Amino acid sequence: MPIIKPVNPDGTDPSQATWSRRDFFALTGWAGFLGGISAGLLAFGRFMFPRVLFEPATAFKAGFPVEYSSGEVSERWIKAQRTWIIRDGKGFCAIEAKCTHLGCTPRWFKDANKFKCPCHGSGFKGFAEGMDSVTVGINFEGPAPRPLERIKVALAEDGQLLIDKGPRFRFEKDEWGKPGSFLKVG
């Protein structure tokens, strides 16, 4: 029985063509498959980041300045807002209670005059009556690589302190003097 060679309608040999019908369908199939998988993976990556997070608001009102006495570390907002508010002779600053080593909550020890992290023992300088607040929170022992971060403190329209944990001020970037890091109160 003679072998019948396939021939294109215009007389050319289909095996000489750059693309056979089979190549085309195979490539289309693979492109569709891989494209679908890639689109699925990209969608999953976006899916894992919800548009809304149900986390505590970053800003809060912390009461009136007269409620804070000069020369002490106020722990009034430590449970609810993880924030120490410190008033010295010139005004207010606010420190977030979050260790710069791996994010645990340090504790304030008034007698030892330092902040101490329970996880790995990092220590940060404290604050007392008559001191200037410029050195509060500087790391001096343990694994913490940098001082505690300060957060924005301002006055709200009603005269209360407005603390915002969004903007942060880092000592090592020389940001502790920047506007917002300290609230002057006469």
Partner 1 sequence: MAENEKQSLKDKVFESQVWRSIFRHGYADTHRNRVLQVAGNVFLHLHPTKTRRHALRIRFTWCAGGVTFLLFLVTVVTGVILMFYYRPTGEHAYIDIKMLEFDVPFGMVIRNMHRWAAHAMVIAVWVHMFRVFMTGSYKPPREFNWVIGVILLVLTLLLSFTGYLLPWDQLAIWAVTVGTNMARATPLLGHEGPFYELVGVNARYDARSFLIAGQVVGPPALLRFYVLHCIFIPIAASVLMIVHFWRVRKDGGISGPM
Which residue ranges make up the site for partner 1 (CB under 8 A)? Answer: 45, 48-50, 53-55, 102-104, 119
Outline where DSSP puts E strands in the chain: 59-61, 72-74, 83-87, 91-96, 107-109, 114-116, 123-125, 139-141, 150-155, 161-169, 183-184
Q: Which residues pair with 172 in a beta bridge?
A: none
Measured from the CB atom, the residue of 55 and 158 that comes closer to partner 1 is 55
State the nearest-atom distance from the C-beta of 2 to partner 1, in Å.
47
Shortest distance (Å) from residue 143 CB to partner 1: 11
Q: Could you tell me the smallest distance in angstroms from the CB atom of residue 155 to partner 1?
A: 27
**Of 137, 133, 176, 153, residue with least CA distance to 63:** 153
Least Å distance, CB 151 to partner 1, is 14
Is-contact 159 99, C-beta < 8 A?
A: no
Nearer to partner 1, 1 or 53 (CB): 53
When the beta carbons of 23 and 107 are compared against partner 1, the nearer one is 107
Other C-beta atoms closer than 10 Å to the C-beta of 78 total: 16
Half-sphere exposure of 145 (CA within 13 A, CB side): 3
Q: What's the closest the beta carbon of residue 124 comes to partner 1, in angstroms?
A: 17
- Which residue, 3 or 48, has its beta carbon nearer to partner 1? 48
User: In angstroms, what is the minimal distance from the CB of 6 to partner 1?
Assistant: 42
Contacts of residue 58, Cβ cutoff 8 Å, sequence gap at least 6: 164, 165, 166
| Strand pairing category for 161-169 and 59-61 | antiparallel
Pick 72 or 175: Cβ nearer partner 1: 175
- Whose Cβ is closer to partner 1: residue 82's or residue 90's? 82
